Amino acid sequence: METSSRPEFCLHSWGANSYGQLGQGHVEDQSDPRLSDTAPLQNKAVRAVSGGGGHSVVVTENGEVFVCGQNDRGQLGLGHNADISTLQLCPSLSQRVTQVACGWDFTLLLADYGRVLACGSNAFGQLGVGQTVTHSADLQVVERLREPVVSVAAGLRHSLAVTHSGCVYQWGRGLFSHAKRALSPQPVPAHLSSTVPTLVPGLEQKTPQLVSAGAVHCMCLTGDGNLFLWGSNKHGQLTAKEPFLSSPTPVKNSLLGGEKVIRVWSGWTHIVAQTETGRVFTWGRGDYGQLGRQILMKQHPERQSAGPSAGGGNQEACLPAEVEVLHGATHVACGSEHNLAIVGPTKHRSVLSEVQLCDEKAGAAEGELTNLMYLVPAP
């Protein structure tokens, strides 16, 4: 009898579980990794795991979406607002999903033909459907994105997308208050204050391919290996002197060993980037150890007067530095204030493409990650 070569996977989860986001059928916190109930998956291969403040999303290789956890704003896309403690198929999807991005209490799905679907809270316009909808338990098509999308990202309360032609769009007012304080008396640019997708200026002819987002900052990686950053620089995550950058600004290649960037990830206030030779650099907030390296207590005089504002911590963390033990990492995942990495050859590299979880207990972008889901090959 011919056997399938497709591997079966176990889903382990642990941490905060107040809303059933661990998918274990209850709402008790777990201090040790335990198996989630994957019976609804019926041994399907999994493409990605992602999550928000209190909800989790699993996408299978055939494009189905399974959800669990907090659902008070309809972020599970199930058509109701009841929390779910085990993985449940999102039944309203009639098209294959290829990517998922979760914000604090909303969800973005990238489906076939480059369509973006959104559900959950729209209090800050983060769903991209205008201001008339406060929240939605049904998946909404982001109609203003009129051409196919190739990459989506969700920050705490803002969203990003890259289209097939290389245009970058932003929506959601999650960065508005930060921008207003930093830019006053100048007006806040449209892409930082819009509730519908608005073109991000400054990336024309830059071949954008991928976007990612922190709590209140944005990132765009181009096809030629350049990394552009904008938004809040409170913790030095933009490698700039200004406290806020309203338009995309490139990271100097000299800060990354003179190499091109091939992959990038973001926590709430820190960034991890991998270059073409496999080197991994980190920078931004580091007081929880999220940079994976020792931070020298050294100040840079040239940044004293113009550097990141109070709360930004040690100036040394503002500069990208290599974490040598991560050289050649095949997967990296950033939580709010911690990271996971797979380093070295692995038989199942394509299992995990994304882990993105936030803190259910924090009311703003200053908390720590409290829950986690992870995929491993079944024994």
**9-377: what CATH class?**
mainly beta
| Dihedral sign computed on CA atoms, order 39, 41, 47, 48 | negative
Q: Quickly state the pLDDT bin for 101 (edges 50, 70, 90).
A: very high
Residue 343 has φ and ψ, to the nearest 5°, of -120, 135
Task: Report how far residue 379's alpha carbon sits from residue 374's, in angstroms, rounded to the nearest whole number.
Answer: 15
User: Is 0.75 surpassed by the pTM of this model?
Assistant: yes
Contact at 8 Å (CB) between 169 and 197?
yes
Question: Does residue 366 carry a pLDDT above 50?
Answer: no
The pLDDT of residue 105: 97
Question: Does residue 378 carry a pLDDT above 60?
Answer: no
Q: Which residue has the higher pLDDT, 221 or 45?
A: 221
User: Euclidean distance between the first and final Cα of the chain, in Å?
Assistant: 21
Q: Looking up tokens 């176990």, which residue turns up?
A: 10
Task: Report how far residue 232's alpha carbon sits from residue 224's, in angstroms, rounded to the nearest whole number.
Answer: 25
The pLDDT of residue 345: 64
Give me the residue spans of the domains in the chain: 9-377
The pLDDT of residue 58: 94
The pLDDT of residue 116: 98
What average pLDDT does this structure show over 72-76? 98
Adjacent-strand bridge partners of 137: none
Contact partners, residue 90, CB within 8 Å, separation at least 6: 64, 65, 66, 67, 76, 77, 78, 139
What average pLDDT does this structure show over 298-312? 41
Which of 90, 87, 110, 92 lies closest to 100 in space, CA to CA?
A: 110
Q: Quickly state the pLDDT bin for 217 (edges 50, 70, 90).
A: very high
